[in-house]
Amino acid sequence: MNTMKMTPQRLAVLQYLNGNTQHPSAEEIYRAVSLQYPTMSFATVYNTLETLRKAGTIQELWIDPLRKRFDPNPLPHNHVICIQCKKIVDVAVEQIMELPDRLSEEFEIVNSQVTFFGICSACKKQ
């Protein structure tokens, strides 16, 4: 297995994502990381995220149709998203969902994400 070279840019992105449960977009990551590295371009951040994703260090979430979001937790888990404020929370996987036999013969599954949608307690209070 090849070892991924840790550049200052990759380290900065990983440090920002470490323990981050907000599931930030590439734009949000760029804004935060560029404070420390003002010469870093958005393209560098985006390419770094793609490299980290391909290495399995982070995962890309498909829950926001307007922008990619990234999660530093590469282990299988699901999400719940507030339909009002767009807050995203991790949901531990307690049961693996399987496709019906007729579909599992047609598809080789490489990843899955289940997303629940609701209204968070903060939004319900408003």
Is 1 among the domain residues? no
Structural domain of residue 55, as residue ranges?
Answer: 8-71
Residues 67 and 13 in one domain: yes
Residues 102 and 64 in one domain: no
Tokens of 102: 């007729």
Residues 91 and 117 in one domain: yes
The per-residue pLDDT string of the chain (126 residues; one tens digit each, 9 = 90 and over) reads: 456 787 888 889 989 999 898 999 999 999 999 998 999 999 999 999 999 899 888 989 887 778 889 999 888 888 999 999 989 999 987 777 778 888 888 888 877 788 899 999 999 998
The number of domains in the chain is: 2
Is 117 among the domain residues? yes
Residues 39 and 90 in one domain: no
Model-wide pTM > 0.85: no
Residues 43 and 87 in one domain: no
